[in-house]
Amino acid sequence: MSSEVKRDPDGQLPYISGHDLESVSNKIAAVTLRPMREMPKFWYAGLFIGVLLLQLLFYAIYKLIVTGTYIWGLNIPVGWGFAIINFVWWIGIGHAGTLISAILFLFKQDWRTSISRFAEAMTLFAVVCAGLFPLLHVGRPWLVYWLFPYPNTMGMWPQFRSPLLWDVFAVSTYATVSILFWFTGLVPDLATMRARATDVWAKKIYHGMSLGWTGSARHWHRYEIAYLLLAGLSTPLVLSVHSIVSLDFAVSLEPGWHTTIFPPYFVAGAIFAGFAMVLTFMIPVRHIFGMKDLLTERHLNNMCKVMLFSGLIVAYGYMMELFFGWYSGSVFERFMVLNRLLGPYDYTYWLLILCNVLVPQALWSYKVRTNPIAVFIICQFISVGMWLERFVIVIISLHRDFLDSSWAMYAGTRWDWAMYVGTMGLFLTLVFLFIRTLPFIAIFEMRELIHKDEHHDDEHHDDEH
Amino acid sequence: MSSQLFTTTHNTLARLTLLLIVLGGAGFLGFMDMIHRSPYVRYTKVRREQPVPFSHKHHTNMGIDCRYCHTSVEVSGFANIPPTQTCMNCHSEIYKDAPILQPVRDSYASGESLEWTRVHDLPDFVYFNHAIHVNKGIGCATCHGRVDQMPLTWREKPLFMKWCLECHRDPAQNVRPKDKIFDMAFDPASLSREAREALVEEYGIDHANHRLTNCAICHR
């Protein structure tokens, strides 16, 4: 191990420091393989809160199924409420994982290595949480297969011209490709875990899951090709999934929804929210599990830059919404803008501007970007802000539209909130179980990074021995 | 890896498992679909238990018109089951002491209706008007089958929504001359397609622009 921190030719801090091939494997595998009593209190606390909130989710779902969707705050004109807000919020959060693992992989950004596994897992869990809302909002979830086109006794096809059907395909494709991509990336590490596990059942499970991986050159060759192809497949999904989600709104004629800026603005918002959520988990985890040498401040710095950039696109989107509201010349569009800024829900709009536009400007400062506590706090603002954004779009547009005799106010009921908070419990539970059962940093990719560092950086080569 | 937790047999098992997941999944879905379409679920051709084993075959073969008992089929949205009084018109004279008709006499004496088991029961979320179908040239047999040959009544058609829509999309398939509505043996296919289309025109069955497959035609 080197005694002093090396800097790369640009004078940047390294992405990984003080590790060799063996120590990095040991360190990451230890989180999973240590005895249960050695897991930190933080992990127990996180899992406990997660499971507790998960019970709330189960109860909210039970209540919903036995009584029906009227326990939610929906009314006419606000026929879309928390379910779609939460769906869009969660599905957006998933996008960071796909961006990190697919696009940054194709652009050969080495820093993605330490966060990709964790971010991809969060993608999957976010899709699970998101998927619950469309599944349950139909009221009779056991008939949800009606969403799919299949030869049926009703003599009916789904409405292929509806973006809600495109959503079904977009999200199910996204879930499928994400899980394949994630699992493929796991296989070499599962083999490492298989070799290191001492418990016979853990060994058997890792062995089975590693699909007979031997680490032969032929396996690596196949693996590299498969991973590259899956990265290529995932890349368009980063853009397409949230574009299609945004079309749920943009294809309608509702003031505040019917705008062409929605797809890019939604995708940027998704990446914004997704990075905030990855950082929300990464910052405590790197601290508690002592991973600061693998998840360095340089990672924070890079991720904050992505967040700042996508945040600026989102801010541009907000500006354009106001501009086009005025520029359209339509009284309904203009009224919608005024109602957003000054109407009965004006505080949600101004809070949104505070959370998503003003607070993230602090990220221009290098000091803030590399200060974990500051970044963590900003991420909380962004997560709240992105939820408010969907609230503003869905509720404020619907509650006062064309027909002023049909205006109404909307508020989520306790069951709306229970369902929302409950999905957070589901997410927490899945994340903490994942941390315990699978290596949350890609071990073999870290080894590759160390290998590269050692062999492509000649002036430091002799330090290592 | 040195430890041999698994042998080469497990490779075969793993591949078999994958195959089973695919075939099993497809098989399960196919099986569920077959169950859904089966007479077991749809009650097609199932002779239903009734308080009195009434035979349509027996009564129609004596020459009684459908409308003698089902008086409202042409004028009401709801096709009626006859009151006990209608039975007693004849059965106060013939078979008036037959033990099999005891429930009819009890019903007549007490004024309590006979509780027939309904054979054609559409879901409550479907609006169905019987009279409009009869008046626009749809015969009894098209939906109910050869009731004149049923000793105990059964459901001839599975009552799938698809079945309703097939006719609503193209009424000319099943339409017949108005004087053949109650003719159980008449087959609309014996007319030419052109003749049936002319009937659709004549009856003013307006199915242009998918009007008859609009959701709100049946789901009001």
> What percentage of residues in chain A have a pLDDT greater than 90?
63
ipTM: 0.78
Distances (CA, A) of A432 to A26, A182, B84: 20, 17, 71
B162 and A194: CB-CB below 8 Å? no
A7 found inside a domain: no
Q: Write the pLDDT tens digit of every residue in A326-385.
A: 999 999 999 999 999 999 999 999 999 999 999 999 999 999 998 999 999 999 999 999
For residue A346, being part of any structural domain is answered with yes
Query: Could you give the 3-state DSSP secondary structure of residue B44?
Result: strand
Distance (Å) from the C-alpha of residue A333 to the closest C-alpha of chain B? 31
What's the pLDDT score for residue A105?
85
* Cβ within 8 Å, pair B165-A195: no
How many Cβ atoms from other residues are within 10 Å of residue A260's Cβ?
A: 10
Check CB contact of A203 with chain B, cutoff 8 Å.
yes
* Region B50-69 average pLDDT: 93
Residues of A in Cβ contact (< 8 Å) with B37:
153
Within 8 A of B158 by CB-CB distance, chain A residues are 153
CB A86 within 8 A of CB A423: yes
Q: DSSP readout, B46-69?
A: PPPP-SS---HHHHHHTT--HHHH
**Distance to chain A for B5, nearest Cα, Å:** 7
DSSP-derived secondary structure letter, A199: S
Asked if A212 is an interface residue toward chain B (Cβ–Cβ < 8 A), one would say yes
d(CA A398, CA A396): 6
Low-confidence ranges of chain A (pLDDT < 50): 1-3, 458-465
Spatial separation of the C-alpha atoms in residues A353 and A341, rounded to whole Å:
11
Contact B161 A156 (CB under 8 A): yes
On whether residue A63 sits in a domain, the answer given is yes
- Predicted pLDDT of residue A456: 59
Q: CB of A156 within 8 Å of any CB in chain B?
A: yes
Please list, in sequence order, all residues whose beta carbon lies within 8 angstroms of the beta carbon of residue A346, skipping any fewer than 6 positions away.
A340
A139: which residues sit within 8 A by CB, 6+ positions away?
A: A64, A68, A69
How far is A108 from B105, CA to CA, in rounded Å? 91
Please count the structural domains in chain A. Answer: 1
Is A153 near chain B, with CB under 8 Å? yes
* Range A282-288, long-range pairs (CB < 8 A, 24+ positions): A282/A115, A282/A118, A283/A372, A283/A373, A283/A375, A283/A376, A283/A379, A284/A42, A284/A376, A285/A118, A285/A435, A285/A440, A286/A372, A287/A372, A288/A40, A288/A42, A288/A43
Q: Is residue A35 part of a domain?
A: yes
- Separation CA A96–CA A271 (nearest Å): 5
- Contact (Cβ atoms closer than 8 angstroms) between residue A355 and residue A388: yes
Q: Are residues A241 and A176 in contact, defined by beta-carbon separation less than 8 angstroms?
A: no
Task: Give the best residue of A146, A207, A210 to mutate against chain B (max B CB count within 10 A).
Answer: A207
Distance in angstroms (rounded) separating the CA atoms of residues A148 and A157 = 8
- Closest CB from A155, A191, A194 relative to B165: A155
Rounded to the nearest angstrom, the minimum Cα separation between A138 and chain B is 17
Specify if A152 maps to a domain: no
Contact list in A for residue B28 (CB cut-off 8 A) is none
Q: Do B5 and A204 touch (CB under 8 A)?
A: yes
Question: Among residues A346, A333, A324, which one has the least CA distance to residue A401?
Answer: A333
CA pair distance B25, A37, nearest whole angstrom: 41
In a domain, A210, yes or no: yes
Q: What is the mean pLDDT of residues B78-84?
A: 92
Residue B1, pLDDT score:
44
Chain B residue at shortest CA distance from A151: B33
Domain containing A57 equals 21-146+159-464
For residue A294, the model assigns a pLDDT of: 84
Chain A environment of B163 (Cβ under 8 Å): 155
Q: Does A385 map to a domain?
A: yes
Across B155-183, average pLDDT: 93
Q: What is the CATH number of the domain that holds A67?
A: 1.20.1630.10
CA distance A306 to A310: 6
| Contact with chain B for residue A214, Cβ under 8 A | yes
What pLDDT was estimated at residue A11? 61
Q: Does A208 touch chain B (CB under 8 A)?
A: yes
d(CA A430, CA A122): 9
Contact residues, chain B, for A219 at CB < 8 Å: none
The rounded mean pLDDT for chain B is: 92
Percent of chain A whose pLDDT exceeds 70: 94
B1 touches chain A (CB under 8 A): yes
Q: What is the pLDDT of residues A122-167, one digit of tens each?
A: 999 999 999 999 999 998 999 999 999 998 999 899 999 999 999 9
Residues 167-196 in A contacting B (C-alpha not used; CB under 8 Å): 191, 194-195
Of B1, B3, B160, the CB nearest to A153: B160
| A154 touching B (Cβ < 8 Å) | yes
Residue B2 confidence (pLDDT) above 50: no
Does any domain span residue A6? no
Type and span of the H or E element at B127: none
Q: How far is CA A434 from the centre of its chain?
A: 15
- Asked if the C-beta of A159 comes within 8 angstroms of chain B's C-beta atoms, the answer is no
pTM, full prediction: 0.88
